[in-house]
Amino acid sequence: MSDPWTGRGREDRAAPEVVDLVGVLDPGFEDGEYWRRMRLRIMSAAAPELARRRAEHATVFEVVEGWARMLVPAAALAAGLAALILLRDGAPATRPLAVDEFLLSGIEEPVLSELASPSGAEGAVFASEVRF
């Protein structure tokens, strides 16, 4: 009698009826899908451990690639948002101040004219010495 599930040869035919009877102990004897289901169940239960092992064995390149996969879209999104915010803020751009304008800003006109006078050019003049 042929092996109903493995098809593999048997060497000892001393007790053929026992060999044939033992076949009923195979769960796949009545349920053709039994072994496939068992394999799937084991694979499903093994998934977390396999994932842990994959993460542990990842190469430097794979780690960088993994980071890049997350970071590049995030950076692109951030850049897009920034551009959107800038475009929506329609305020006119202010003229940048020159350095001398910045240094003189807030100083009253009489002070400025005194500083610009020929006497002022002779020596250092402090703003506190200027008489109005």
Residues forming the site for other proteins (CB under 8 A): 3, 5-12, 14-27, 29-30, 35, 38-39, 41-43, 45-47, 49-57
Distance in angstroms (rounded) separating the CA atoms of residues 47 and 13: 42
User: SS3 of 26, please?
Assistant: coil
Nearer to other proteins, 41 or 77 (CB): 41
Compute the least distance from the CB of residue 63 to other proteins, in Å: 14
Using alpha carbons only, how large is the chain's radius of gyration in Å?
Answer: 44
Q: How far is the CB of 76 from other proteins (least distance, A)?
A: 30
Q: Which is nearer to other proteins, 63 or 112 (CB)?
A: 63
CA 12, 4, 33: angle at the middle one, nearest 5?
A: 140
